[in-house]
Structure 1
Amino acid sequence: MNKTKTITSLEELDKILKSETAVLLYFNTISCNVGESLEPKVKNLIDVNFPKINFYNIDLNFSPKIAAKYNAFVEPTILIFFDGKETIRKSRNISIYELHKTIDRLYQLIFE
């Protein structure tokens, strides 16, 4: 299981999106119980089923510029990028099953 990486600046995020094929951004705050309980489930889903997607955490309290640029004001929000383009966006009430189905379709197209 990979350690969760945290992004704190737009410059860092821009570099990641330019250099990595598949990126999941998990927007959350430590005060959001839903986000806190969902994060390990999403992380496990990615680690087990989609190992080529890199998981990054963004705390909305510490990275308001990133939240503003990507319109991620609701917690939790998940953005998935393939080849630097936002491809999947899920917010608030997120079903792991639905997320799995949505990612799987695109993941197969890109990596299989």
Structure 2
Amino acid sequence: MEKFDDLITSNIPVLVDFYAEWCGPCKMMKPILEDVKAMKGEKVRVVKVDVDKHQELAAYYQIQSVPTLMIFKDGKQLWRQSGVLQAKELSELLAQYE
């Protein structure tokens, strides 16, 4: 399994979804993220991080609420927002970093 740091140092945008199994809005994000991946194909990578299983990572990024979405490229955090976003919004956001 790739380490998180290796994942986010990609030269394509990496959309990270910090989520929890018990979180209702997080469950709503699953099909939205699948839509984004279908729209963007190889232009973007989508990574899900369970905050309960990866507490150190969640603490490092100061995740206060789930879902929290982040976009990374070349190891840098470029964008962050908590809450549910629609696929169209995410797709447009990602286009800025392609």
Band of TM-score, shorter chain: 0.7 to 0.9
How far off its partner does 1:25 sit? 1.1
Q: Is the 8 A contact 2:39 2:91 kept in 1?
A: no
Q: Which amino acid aligns with 2:54?
A: S
Aligned residues: CA RMSD: 2.0
Structure with max Cα Rg: 1
In the alignment, does 2:17 pair up with 1:26?
Answer: yes
Q: Tell me how far apart the structure 2 counterparts of residues 86 and 29 of structure 1 sit (CA, whole Å).
A: 21
Q: Tell me how far apart the structure 2 counterparts of residues 43 and 66 of structure 1 sit (CA, whole Å).
A: 23
In the alignment, does 2:82 pair up with 1:99?
Answer: no
Instruction: State the TM-score, normalizing by the size of structure 2.
Output: 0.82
Unaligned runs of 5+ in 2: none
Would the alpha carbon gap of residues 93 and 38 (structure 1) be closer, same or farther in structure 2, given more than 3 Å must change?
closer
Deviations 1:79-104 (A, max 9, x none): 11111111121211424333222222
Instruction: State the TM-score, normalizing by the size of structure 1.
Output: 0.74
Q: Secondary structure at the match of 1:35?
A: helix
The ranges of structure 1 where at least 4 consecutive aligned residues each deviate by more than 4 angstroms after the TM superposition are none
Unaligned runs of 5+ in 1: 1-6, 108-112
Instruction: For CA contacts below 8 A with separation 6 or more, give which structure has more relative contact order.
Output: 2
